[in-house]
Structure 1
Amino acid sequence: MGVEVEHKPRKPHVLVFPFPGQGHINPMLQFAKRLLSKGVRAALVSTVFLASSSFSGSSISFDHHTISDGFDEGGIYQAADAEAYLSTFCSVGSKSLAALIQRLGETGHPVDALVYDSLMPWALDVAKQLGVPAAAFFTQSCAVNSVYYHVWKGDLQLPLPPTRVYLPALPPLRVSELPSFVAIYGLYPAWLDALVNQFSNVDGAEWVFLNHFYELEPEAMDWMSKHWNVMTVGPTIPSMYLDKRLQNNKDYGLNLFDPNASACMSWLSGKPKGSVVYVSFGSIASLGTKQMAEIGCALKRRNGHFLWVVRETEKSKLPHNYIEETSDQGLVVTWCPQLEVLSHESIGCFLTHCGFNSVLEALSLGVPMLAMPQWTDQATNAKYIEDVWRVGIRACCDKEGIVRRETIEHGIKELLMEVGEKGREIRKNSIKWKNLASKAVDAGGKSDKNIDEFIAKVQSN
């Protein structure tokens, strides 16, 4: 009598392909970790150049494949400009991605689904050609995506007149509250084209994922769901800061800069609860010398504690001897572990550029925000921070485009409840959103259910 061999079902094999920038990789990498924790064979696809950066601190081992973007030695920094990079990435990346998917199939590891960054619609074309189901992953908010969609459709004709803009399921928006690529027409044409072209073929995607949770923008979510199979899967931040189901998942796993974690956390540990102003403008935004001086003066004049992230390339813009003169008040570092910092009990508020990842992190951790948007989607995010979610205050600039020290100082004092009553309401709202974010990714939460539904569909194909 023969021995029956039990054939276990093959784990679904999903490629996760982010655009090669830290703000895009981090949320998609966390999404891949969620898939992996649910029994999916999730593999990360990155460019050859990016693979030379350190994917560190991850407790989960990934399959990691590389493709060429045409600039293997320097990535986008090797290209002449953004237009050259994006066009070359499209032509070279399409062939390289197709070759990868074909090679995996030939070696007994066929790809069951591709989750691609919406900024690379050509990846969907590759998936379609090879018969692989695909999901577009949007890393910006519904409101921002909606603006670009309406530009794509021709409903928003550029350049815009200086009036308010009225779009379905969104609050009225001043032109200055739109993404800068739309508001300041002609400033960054290559990036505007890339963001608008996200919608060139998205109708062909089986799923549209949003690094989001439903309660943040229910009207916009419902509107988008009429057009595509939309699923919220966020906030995709490390599990130990939300549901804590993925043990030791405390960081994203990628740092393009080296964080001085021990110095930051040691310094914070000695500060009173809710007393520290955390200041960071992300990995790309570059402030002018005048603006740096205004921020520095506001922090110094308030005579309170602050932790200020100033990248190495930006340190020369600090006022003369600033670090030495404020050493009893603050700590200036070139980079830091932001989630650890935001979750520390000593943090009272976050002076932020309003990048969507930073906004989601602050929302998920209940930290009030002082919004100082710089470019791209940040002005729209700042609008929502103050007027829709009511978890912060916008620090408005003057006619010269500078946010003055008095505005910054007053905003900080309001958020820390040192003046006025606004800070109390903001803090209450911040706790509400923190609870909703955690609930979304809990077992059985809406985002968690959506991930399970996606996996079930992939398995059944």
Structure 2
Amino acid sequence: MTTSQLHIALLAFPFGSHAAPLLTLVQKLSPFLPSDTIFSFFNTSQSNTSIFSKSSKPDNLKIYNVWDGVKEGNATPFGREAIELFIQSTPTNFVKSMKEAEEETGVKFSCIFSDAFLWFSCELAETMNVPWIAFWTAGSCSLSIHLYTDLIRSNDETLSKIPGFLSSLRMSDMPPEVVAENLEGPMPSMLYKMALNLHKADGVVLNSFEELDPIINKDLKSKLQKILNIGPLVLQSSKKVQVDANSDESGCIEWLEKQNEKSVVYLSFGTVTTLSPNEIVAIAEALETKRVPFIWSLRDNGVKILPKGFLERTEEFGKIVSWAPQLEILEHSSVGVFVTHCGWNSILEGISYGVPMICRPFFGDQKLNSRMVESVWQIGLQIEGGSFTKSGTMNALDTFFNEQKGKVLRQNVEGLKEKALEAVKSDNGSSTKDFKVLVELIKCHKAT
């Protein structure tokens, strides 16, 4: 068993939008590491199938399926049940697959690089005498909230005392795991243990940029060994976003070319969230009444709920697709506002391309992200009452297309876009420098 090569164990959390960013990060890191570096990617079979069907696999990456906790012959669970079964199967499932990877490659692990949720990675790293690098796939704002779990739970008057947050922050904005009735459930327990152990990580990597939350980042640096903001990853590529005719099967970009600058509303709520029938109808009625140009990413089961005749009545100024090339749409000069569920990737993509947002959060860190968008960064607004109504949606659209406030929000997000570009494009950019630190952190350790 050799220790002469770098062999990096990548431990993914297989739900939501967690595993794919870890793969993206590997693709960014690979060219900067020795050519004989081995990456072993540990994830459930279902998640691996999903992400590797949409993304190319680096030649030096080996894929391993870890047990998802579902006993053979049992029906495939969904949602919370699937997550809880997976959590209960850890860390045994990872340990088993990691031993197989070392035996198969003949190379001991030199580093454990895990989703931050998988807090037990610190114990595995200690046993192997290798560094643990944790990847927090969301923003520094939500990471900070988790680190302050005990303070938040002790007194709801203390939210404004957390560095970098305003007094407008409310308990209802908190991730549900932080304010759960008790911290013994699988998800609350996992995230609480993460908060207690994250100081042991040799580095905590974030897909963000330091200038977005400077006060929060300063506070995080006082609590953790190394905070490395290396994003936005979407801007790390030196190539301009391009769409060829074959990849734009829905014709979104061709359609956008015919629209006026900053006139289009783009609506997308991710792959997990589902709008209620009432909200789908409310959005449709607002779009039709305002006659504002729109692209709406809406799956077939949602299309069935639309008001009768809506597609025909709006075909001159609207486009509904089951899947949309989001990055290319957000980059297009015709797009004026992004209506989103406030998942971190979507928030960061909106900022990266300078598109202000209308927020309708659902779960996890989305409510906190939404509050930051409206009250702290001031680059968008939350939908009135927390869910879509016809009048609330029309009022939100009016803000961006008919009011001075919309211009201010657009200017603010353009300012953050410039800071994001500077962070990743400049040799002295904060994210460029942190990325170099991450590369050295990985390179300088060999298993002993």
Asked if TM exceeds 0.5, the reply is yes
Structure-to-structure mapping, 1:180-259, within 5 angstroms: 180-182=176-178, 190-238=186-234, 242-245=235-238, 247=239
Cα distance in 1 for residues equivalent to 2:399 and 2:283 = 16
Partner of 1:33: 27
Cα distance in 1 for residues equivalent to 2:211 and 2:310 = 42
Cα distance in 2 for residues equivalent to 1:249 and 1:59 = 20
Partner of 1:427: 410
Report if the CA contact (8 A) 2:137-2:206 is conserved: yes
Identity %: 25
**Deviation at residue 197 of structure 1 after TM alignment:** 3.0
Determine if the alignment matches structure 1 residue 156 to structure 2 residue 145: no
Once the two structures are overlaid, the 10-residue window that deviates more, 169-178 or 49-58, is 49-58
Report Cα offsets for 1:402-447 as digits up to 9, x if no partner.
43222222222322xx322112222221211111112222234222
State the SS of the aligned residue for 2:233.
coil
Report if the CA contact (8 A) 1:59-1:248 is conserved: no
Partner of 1:177: 173
Report Cα offsets for 1:293-340 as digits up to 9, x if no partner.
111111111112101111234333322332233222211112212111
Partner of 2:8: 14
Partner of 1:3: none
Partner of 1:447: 431
Partner of 2:91: 94
Residue 138 and residue 304 in structure 1: after superposition, are their counterparts in 2 closer, same or farther (change >3 A)?
Answer: same
Report if the CA contact (8 A) 1:395-1:408 is conserved: yes
Q: Which runs of 4+ in 1 moved over 6 A?
A: 248-251
Partner of 1:105: 102
Determine if the alignment matches structure 1 residue 23 to structure 2 residue 8: no
Residue 457 and residue 145 in structure 1: after superposition, are their counterparts in 2 closer, same or farther (change >3 A)?
Answer: closer
Output the amino acid matched with 2:341. H
Cα distance in 2 for residues equivalent to 1:319 and 1:77 = 36
State the SS of the aligned residue for 2:348.
helix
Partner of 1:318: 306
Partner of 1:134: 132
Report if the CA contact (8 A) 1:31-1:236 is conserved: no
Residue 286 and residue 73 in structure 1: after superposition, are their counterparts in 2 closer, same or farther (change >3 A)?
Answer: farther
Report Cα offsets for 1:366-422 as digits up to 9, x if no partner.
11111122222111111111222121122221xxx543222222222322xx32211
Cα distance in 1 for residues equivalent to 2:352 and 2:79 = 35
Report if the CA contact (8 A) 1:309-1:335 is conserved: yes
State the SS of the aligned residue for 2:342.
coil
Runs of 5+ unmatched residues, structure 2 = none
Output the amino acid matched with 2:147. Y
Residue number among 280, 283, 295 corresponding to 1:295 in the alignment:
283
**Deviation at residue 121 of structure 1 after TM alignment:** 1.4
**Deviation at residue 110 of structure 1 after TM alignment:** 2.8
Output the amino acid matched with 2:209. F
Report Cα offsets for 1:68-102 as digits up to 9, x if no partner.
2335799x9823762x5445434544234223433
Report Cα offsets for 1:184-219 as digits up to 9, x if no partner.
758995433333332242232211111211111111
State the SS of the aligned residue for 1:317.
coil
Output the amino acid matched with 1:434. K
Alpha-carbon RMSD across the aligned residues, in angstroms, is 3.1
TM-score w.r.t. structure 2 length? 0.86
Residue 249 and residue 51 in structure 1: after superposition, are their counterparts in 2 closer, same or farther (change >3 A)?
Answer: farther
Cα distance in 2 for residues equivalent to 1:351 and 1:188 = 35
Report if the CA contact (8 A) 2:266-2:338 is conserved: yes
**Deviation at residue 31 of structure 1 after TM alignment:** 1.5
Cα distance in 2 for residues equivalent to 1:261 and 1:188 = 47
Report if the CA contact (8 A) 2:200-2:225 is conserved: no
